[in-house]
Structure 1
Amino acid sequence: SLPKRYTLMLALIYLMRVRARDHLAEMFIKRIATIHKRAKDELEQIQVRQRKKLELLVGTLGGVLEILAQEPDNQEAGSLIREYLSPEGNIDRLREACAEVQATGGSNYLPLLWKHFKSHRSLLFRLSHLLQLEPTTQDRSLIEALQMVQENENLHREWIDEHVDLSFASDRWLKIVRRSPSEGPPTNRRFLEVCVFSHLANELRSGDICVLGSESFADYRKQLLPWDECLARLPEYCEKVGLSSTAKEFVASLKEQLESTAQQLDDKFPNCRGDVSINEAGEPVLRRVVARDIPPSAISLQTAITQRMPARHVLDIMANIEHWIQFTRHFGPMSGSDPKLKEPAERYLMTIFAMGCNLGPNQAARHLAGNVTPHMLSYTNRRHLPLDKLDKANRELVELYLQLDLPKLWGDGKAVAADGTQFDFYDENLLAGYHFRYRKMGAVAYRHVANNYIAVFQHFIPPGIWEAIYVIEGLLKADHSVEVDTVYSDTQGQSATVFAFTHLLGINLMPRIRNWRNLVMYRPDRSAKYKHINSLFTDTVNWSQIETHWQDLMQVALSIQAGKISSPMLLRKLGSYSRRNKLYHAAQELGCVIRTIFLLKWIGNRELRREVTANTNKIESYNGFSKWLSFGGDIIAENDPDEQQKRLRYNDMIASSVILQNTVDMMRILQKLARDGWQFTDEDVSFLSPYLTSNVKRFGEFNLKLKRPPEPWIKDSIFQQAAGSIRGQQVPNNKVEKTN
């Protein structure tokens, strides 16, 4: 009916406006980050060019020291030095060289920002006018500075008379924005603009500034559950996750846990000499963990299974899964339930194959047998396979896998490993960015893979953010029959804030941290002293801060658990440094306590280190397996955010289908081997993996038909003679020359 149509249109317009504000704020942050990166790169290039000049100055200083060493008389030495430094009587050139090296010798790249800022200036001002920005605290100094900058937007002079409150800025900024009133107008308009926009991006990221009408950049405090509602949920929630229900009991329990863990490590430390020791700097040194030895019986079993695995095409595998559970029933048009497609299941499977293997509609249509066109595949993708329906189908594949017996020997599914892997993208879109580890542009596919090898969550994230903020989101959105309580990760999968909220949500975070010795470890109180591990601790826990903000922390945890607020958005804000947000500092303090407890266990438990390493290796194997199935190309050729996320779901749907088919085939082979009298144990089976590729035909079958009737040759006489010449027939010389 017409009123429903108008209501739907208004809802869509509202949603798109909210999303547009999110995207504009994200573009603003990314543009500022790009400007800073270019200035840093320029400073590095300048320092490389200055290296020869610096070597010359150091050589000059060496000559001065040589004169001082050889000449004891100060007056004579001074005369020799002056003659050495300025044989022509002019030392200005040397002074200029020293000043130039001093100006670019440190890490202060801020004076170089204006050059890269000015080409984006008009766009950044447009964004600052479009977005309604408000502080989330009583401190309005940055917003007032922004209003001052906007009022002077059309000025051309560099120095202005206005005095701006720059209490939010660092000393480095103050040095280039302000000058003494005796030298003229006190404020540099250009660098004031750069300073304000840079801090605006930082505070948007940390949540100290919000965008009205946005979602990802809204004031998260207004999205939390009211405390009255939290109080009603609190007893049942605390009992479920094993937390104390009052602030004093919570702090007392946490303090007791830290004290007992530290004391246990101190008591057993002399017995751990073979695995751990403390060097002269007071740092623990751990022996490298050795993986479990694979018994010969497990190796022979794996060889026997690999030899007996039936060869299958990817499309045949997907057809098998469809026959078993009809997972394509989840797909259909966005309005209505009737697909109105001819043979819809076949169309859906071909589309999943085309997108999941990264072939794309055009290349897939050229190679798929049957009357399928690029438009058919593209239309099906756009109109019948939205993101939420792909997630439902993926969950069904995972649920089917979890019901099988063989995966239960690999793991119970209650633990997952979280990690990201890089994908190449086009440069100009919201997801793409420069990845500091891979040294190239792209995006990160962040996944949760269960300890029984199946992926339970997947999401594309930009490379500039800390991957750990999606740890909690993956567990809350997985929505499987097996509830996850443990997460393994690498360094990118942890931070103090993430440790805090995984603890509050009843999740055991177990990361493999690179350079973990550089992290600060907290002792329970100042009086706590230990015989063997006292040098590990460099700070003391501020228990009063945790107790004071316990209510705020629990309110956030209950809001995340109830789905009232997105955990990535919240962790992204609380994971960015904020000088104003007291909740940020409380979460940091709590997270450092939980991380200290984990590190103490990590140091004293070799089996824990082996367990974490083994499970993080599983997700590395899965990333390689899924990339192997994405054989159509190296670049995700999409700029639309939803389509980019769908490509990852397609790829994981194909990977899950192949894993499921491999597992079923392995179970059949194991049953046959057992009937034939083959002796193997559950431990032998636990070493197997469903990531087999030797039996999967990615490219289909290519048939050479040499015996078919030949196609007719062209009738031009010159080319006929050329063909005859190639076959060795006698051709007149003049005609051969013409052919040549």
Structure 2
Amino acid sequence: MKQVWDDGELAENWNLKADEEILFKGKSAHAQLGIALQLKHYQAYGRFPKKTSDFALQIIRHVSDQLGIVSEGISSYDWEARSARRHRQEILKFLDIRRITARDRQQLITWLCNDVFSEGTEPNEAFDQACSYLLDRKLQCPSTKELDRLIRSAHNRFLQSVHRDISARLSGATREAIEVSLADPDVPIGFNGLKADPGRVSLDNILRTCSQLRFIRSLRLSTATFGGVSAKFLKRLKQMASNDTAWDMKQRPIERRHSLCSIHYCFRGREITDGLIDLLLETIHKIDASAQRKVMKELMADFQKVYGKERLLFEIADAALTDPDGAVCDVVFPVANPEVLSNLVKEYKSSGPGYKKKVHTVLRASYGNHYRKMLPAILDVLEFRSNNAAHRPLLDALDWIKRMRADNRRFIQLDEGLPVDGVVPKKWHEVIIDHDATNGPRINRINYEICALQTLRERIRCKEIWVVGADRYRNPDEDLPGDFEDRRPDYYGLLDQPMDAGEFIARVKKDMDRTLFELNAGMPRNKKVSLRTNHKNRICLSPLEPQPEAQGIAPIKAELAKRWPMTGLLDVLKEADLRIGFSDLFQTSGNREILDRETIQRRLLLCLYAMGTNAGLKRISAGPHGVSYKELLHIRRRFIGKDALRNAIGQIANAVFAVRNPEIWGEGTTSCASDSKKFGAWDQNLMTEWHIRYGGRGVMIYWHVEKKSTCIYSQLKRCSSSEVASMIEGVLKHCTDMDVDRQYVDSHGQSEVAFAFCHMLGFDLLPRLKAISRQKLYLPDPGKRQNYGNLEPILTRPIDWRLIEQQYDEIVKFAAAMKLGTADPEAILRRFTRSNVQHPTYKALTELGKAIKTIFLARYLGSEELRREIHEGLNVVENWNSANSFIFFGKGGEVATNRLEEQELSVLSLHLLQICLVYVNTLMMQRVLADPSWSRTLTTEDRRAITPLIYGHINPYGIFDLDMSKRLDLDFKVLT
């Protein structure tokens, strides 16, 4: 049961009705409260509660107030006593609930198969639905054990029918190919080989991935093979197959084996297609970048870079004009000696046409001698398409290359109809097109292939070209709501935006005019901001003055260390689970659980600790708890998945919000800050990259942390990937009760497109801009420049509202796709990059983003409080980042795996472990501050600086012993 209810929900679900008073006549006060709680619980959930802790304190107080009795009286109500059982029978009679019969049980099983499990619902999720089904039909809910048995029976029946139907649709050739892959599982097309990630960029990995994709395509699997089974259920079956070894899979009944393998291979086909495209794009980039580095290294060895070229050229020109008849050695050399002039000539050659030709020569040698072998294999297994006719020449070029692979000619005449425009950039024409004296203009075939691949990379990255059978690189139209035209009012209502573009623009204009007017009026009194008229950096912003240091935090930390000295981090994880029960969210990917739940819980916590600290399962298995490495590995494979970890993190975050004392932490916040942190990682994979700022190979983890150090979302990302997409994804996809309406980011988490989408999605983007001194303010209308005289140095052109009006529908469509989750923000934002600057919606988004950014800048420059608020919010993320290395201490803090799935699980386990620390520290600090002698000492600065993310009293190392009977002394009184 959820712990936080608003007044409307309490009234709807927990208000007593007049006709229900008959149940309370002649009963004692505590009996009345017990009957009332059982009655309303049964009416809400279709089953009776088992103990007082099943109710939120809000509910107990709400019901007791209606009865006119004190809520503490419930503590004397015995839920298992004979009187409580009699009360339950009276409630059933009052509600006219009858006992369930054998026929009713069969009807329940049939309903579960046809209406519940067919939608992808898991057995543990079906319990509440089954209770509601019985309540609607006025049937008494059986015992928990019996209802679980009925649900499991229905699920097994449904599974058998699904596997039987899918297996029957497979051809004999497909079944035979599946058996071949299981017979030799470690070859590239074997069961284990197909699970492997593509690996790092290399020709061998490209050819291996192509062979895997050819094998999967030969199985001829499609959505029709699975006969309308829900995507959610198919995803669960795919996870079940992924967790199996080849030996496990071969032990399954033949129908189930063929069904699971076909589902697994169908999903893997999409993943392998995406991986192959990633390999292709990275290979094209690698060839080009390597050629440029090699040429630049050679050129830099021959000359020194010339600085101050404009001044030098001016002095040369001035000297030449002063003495036009003089000798060069007398006029020019005194200004610039021959060595400087030589370096100047070489530097020009290093960036002009000569440089381009040299780069292309090196690139051509690398591609022609090695990487060219990949092209036929890639064109055989990937089918490129576009929804834009402007890119037809590129598709024709790829078709020509595929069709003419047997033609060994080195040169192709231009008059043979080979597409040039749209394939070969104009800047490369003089390098690519060769003018033969005999046969006229011609193109070197290898050069042409290189240009086609480079253009293909640009178009795929902005999704102008898409690939059949891919997932991330699929048809971009599939990312958008298909019924937008039919349900336009619903989508506009989802975003809370007006359907009329004029009304929307009028709102934004009004906000721009108001904020610019307020900033203009306040500039004469704004001592922290000054504007320069004759400087490149026109905004001069004074640094924030340091706030008074909080003196009362150190004694509180010392008290924590005194009361709970060297508390084990494993004990923190255990305590959080015993209070919250998040381990119940980790269910087996198999058909049933053989181990008892206590054993599973114990091993789960050890696995999560091993992964969250990066110590590893083998290290943890060496502890005195008696759990072996193989037993932990079984739990890791069968129970721990990304979805379960995210749900657990959300449950812990909600528990933190529920347990907080507002007198200490303040009222609930709707502000969140996000930033990334680099972690070292193995590099035989496509996720790991060299970080251009921090140096070293690694990955980035992008955190979303609210103002009191509770992280609500985390993502694993590449070092070069957009932080804007990660920022939006975290706001939209976090699975907590928090509503984010203010998002703090640094410079890398913002862009003009980001401002536009954040406005459409209903939250404020508040960045701390590194380049604040070079920012400009846009005008709402051309004739209003004179209204903002104090801002003249930083004013620029008016917003082009016509573009926004023309593309308003498209902007709403893309924003709605993000909101509904039909596509990831990264997939949407990939279409709106500088490489796709001609996209009309991109132009409109940048104009809208400029308007919203202007509103933000006007507020930012005019309010020191806002600047301090953003700075404080981002400091919280930095504090969160500082704790990462304390917890993720194993293997030098490096993500020691090349498998993407394991990298993601490590990150999520770290997140879970760290948020458990925040939860337990919250309870510890509230325990200390419950003493008036401590709470009275807190100053305003102390309350501002207090944070639950401290770890001086925590020991993450040592002997890993898990004693489930030992609890931390937090004075947590459980109502029973």
Within the alignment, does 1:671 sit opposite 2:930 as a pair?
Answer: yes
**Residue number among 911, 916, 923 corresponding to 1:657 in the alignment:** 916
Within the alignment, does 1:619 sit opposite 2:873 as a pair?
Answer: no
Whether contact under 8 Å (2:291, 2:363) holds in the other structure is yes
1:486-635 equivalences in 2 (<5 Å):
486-519=742-775, 521-529=777-785, 530-633=788-891, 634-635=893-894
Whether contact under 8 Å (1:206, 1:575) holds in the other structure is yes
Q: Partners of 1:68 and 1:670 in 2: how far apart?
A: 81
Q: Partners of 1:326 and 1:682 in 2: how far apart?
A: 35
Q: Partners of 1:550 and 1:613 in 2: how far apart?
A: 34
**Residue number among 113, 116, 119 corresponding to 2:363 in the alignment:** 113
**Residue number among 453, 458, 468 corresponding to 1:197 in the alignment:** 453
Q: Which residue of 2 aligns with 1:138?
A: 389
Q: How much does 1:284 deviate? A: 0.9
Q: Any idea what SS the aligned residue of 1:208 has?
A: coil
Q: How much does 1:348 deviate? A: 0.5
Letter in 2 for 1:136: N
Q: Residue deviations 1:631-677, cap 9 Å, x none?
A: 102321222222211110111111111111111111111113x1578
Q: Partners of 1:294 and 1:267 in 2: how far apart?
A: 34
Q: Which residue of 2 aligns with 1:476?
A: 732
Q: Which residue of 2 aligns with 1:733?
A: none
Letter in 2 for 1:117: Y
Letter in 1 for 2:853: R
Q: Residue deviations 1:572-618, cap 9 Å, x none?
A: 22235314532222222211221122122111111111111110111
Whether contact under 8 Å (1:279, 1:285) holds in the other structure is no
Q: Partners of 1:639 and 1:701 in 2: how far apart?
A: 28
Q: Any idea what SS the aligned residue of 2:930 has?
A: helix
**Residue number among 629, 636, 647 corresponding to 1:374 in the alignment:** 629
Q: Partners of 2:329 and 2:650 in 1: how far apart?
A: 85
Letter in 2 for 1:568: E
Q: Which residue of 1 aligns with 2:121?
A: none
Q: How much does 1:554 deviate? A: 0.8
Q: Residue deviations 1:322-372, cap 9 Å, x none?
A: 221222111132023525368111110111111111112223323x22323
Q: Partners of 1:583 and 1:169 in 2: how far apart?
A: 26
Within the alignment, does 1:261 sit opposite 2:515 as a pair?
Answer: yes
Deviates more, 1:203-212 or 1:557-566: 557-566
Q: Any idea what SS the aligned residue of 2:782 has?
A: coil
Letter in 2 for 1:175: E
Whether contact under 8 Å (1:276, 1:603) holds in the other structure is no
Q: Which residue of 1 aligns with 2:274?
A: 22
Deviates more, 1:250-259 or 1:217-226: 217-226
Q: Partners of 1:702 and 1:338 in 2: how far apart?
A: 26
Q: Any idea what SS the aligned residue of 1:538 has?
A: strand
Q: Partners of 2:313 and 2:865 in 1: how far apart?
A: 56
The change in CA–CA distance for 1:394 and 1:100 in structure 2 (over 3 A counts) is same
Q: Any idea what SS the aligned residue of 1:403 has?
A: helix
Deviates more, 1:370-379 or 1:294-303: 294-303
Deviates more, 1:609-618 or 1:516-525: 516-525
Identity percentage of aligned residues:
22
**Residue number among 723, 727, 734 corresponding to 1:467 in the alignment:** 723
Whether contact under 8 Å (2:423, 2:452) holds in the other structure is no
Q: Partners of 1:573 and 1:537 in 2: how far apart?
A: 30
Q: Which residue of 1 aligns with 2:296?
A: 44
The change in CA–CA distance for 1:316 and 1:151 in structure 2 (over 3 A counts) is same
Q: CA RMSD in A?
A: 3.5
Within the alignment, does 1:276 sit opposite 2:530 as a pair?
Answer: yes
Q: How much does 1:262 deviate? A: 1.4
Q: Partners of 2:305 and 2:491 in 1: how far apart?
A: 66
Q: Which residue of 1 aligns with 2:488?
A: 231
Q: How much does 1:426 deviate? A: 1.5
1:261-340 equivalences in 2 (<5 Å):
261-278=515-532, 280-281=534-535, 283-297=538-552, 300-301=555-556, 303-305=558-560, 307-338=562-593, 340=595
Q: Partners of 1:274 and 1:218 in 2: how far apart?
A: 50
Q: Which residue of 1 aligns with 2:149?
A: none
The change in CA–CA distance for 1:178 and 1:451 in structure 2 (over 3 A counts) is same
Q: Any idea what SS the aligned residue of 1:294 has?
A: coil
Q: Any idea what SS the aligned residue of 1:227 has?
A: coil
Q: Residue deviations 1:467-511, cap 9 Å, x none?
A: 111112112211222211111111111112211111111011111
Within the alignment, does 1:432 sit opposite 2:691 as a pair?
Answer: no
Deviates more, 1:483-492 or 1:36-45: 36-45
Whether contact under 8 Å (1:159, 1:185) holds in the other structure is no
The change in CA–CA distance for 1:517 and 1:82 in structure 2 (over 3 A counts) is closer
Letter in 2 for 1:48: M
Q: How much does 1:561 deviate? A: 1.7
Deviates more, 1:654-663 or 1:31-40: 31-40
Q: Partners of 2:333 and 2:916 in 1: how far apart?
A: 82
The change in CA–CA distance for 1:426 and 1:575 in structure 2 (over 3 A counts) is same
The change in CA–CA distance for 1:553 and 1:274 in structure 2 (over 3 A counts) is closer
Q: How much does 1:270 deviate? A: 0.9
Q: Partners of 2:856 and 2:633 in 1: how far apart?
A: 49
Within the alignment, does 1:103 sit opposite 2:349 as a pair?
Answer: yes
Q: Residue deviations 1:185-235, cap 9 Å, x none?
A: 422322222221112111111111111122211222233222234423145
Q: Any idea what SS the aligned residue of 1:573 has?
A: coil
Letter in 1 for 2:164: P
Q: Any idea what SS the aligned residue of 1:480 has?
A: coil
Q: Any idea what SS the aligned residue of 2:266 has?
A: helix
Whether contact under 8 Å (1:244, 1:253) holds in the other structure is no
Whether contact under 8 Å (2:472, 2:827) holds in the other structure is yes
Q: Partners of 2:951 and 2:333 in 1: how far apart?
A: 76
Deviates more, 1:179-188 or 1:399-408: 179-188
Q: Partners of 2:387 and 2:549 in 1: how far apart?
A: 57
Q: How much does 1:552 deviate? A: 0.8
The change in CA–CA distance for 1:397 and 1:95 in structure 2 (over 3 A counts) is closer
Whether contact under 8 Å (1:159, 1:189) holds in the other structure is yes
Deviates more, 1:636-645 or 1:345-354: 636-645
Q: Partners of 1:433 and 1:421 in 2: how far apart?
A: 14
Deviates more, 1:260-269 or 1:298-307: 298-307
Q: Partners of 2:347 and 2:917 in 1: how far apart?
A: 60
Deviates more, 1:117-126 or 1:294-303: 294-303
Query: Is there any run of 5+ residues in structure 1 with no aligned partner, and where?
Result: 85-90, 704-740
Within the alignment, does 1:122 sit opposite 2:381 as a pair?
Answer: no
Q: Partners of 1:79 and 1:417 in 2: how far apart?
A: 63
Q: Any idea what SS the aligned residue of 1:453 has?
A: coil
Within the alignment, does 1:420 sit opposite 2:676 as a pair?
Answer: yes
Whether contact under 8 Å (1:490, 1:513) holds in the other structure is yes
The change in CA–CA distance for 1:398 and 1:110 in structure 2 (over 3 A counts) is farther
Letter in 1 for 2:739: E
Aligned length: 687
Letter in 2 for 1:349: L
Q: How much does 1:521 deviate? A: 3.7
Q: Partners of 1:14 and 1:578 in 2: how far apart?
A: 32
Q: Which residue of 2 aligns with 1:718?
A: none
The change in CA–CA distance for 1:664 and 1:224 in structure 2 (over 3 A counts) is same
Q: Which residue of 1 aligns with 2:402?
A: 150
Q: Partners of 1:11 and 1:24 in 2: how far apart?
A: 20
Q: Partners of 1:153 and 1:64 in 2: how far apart?
A: 55
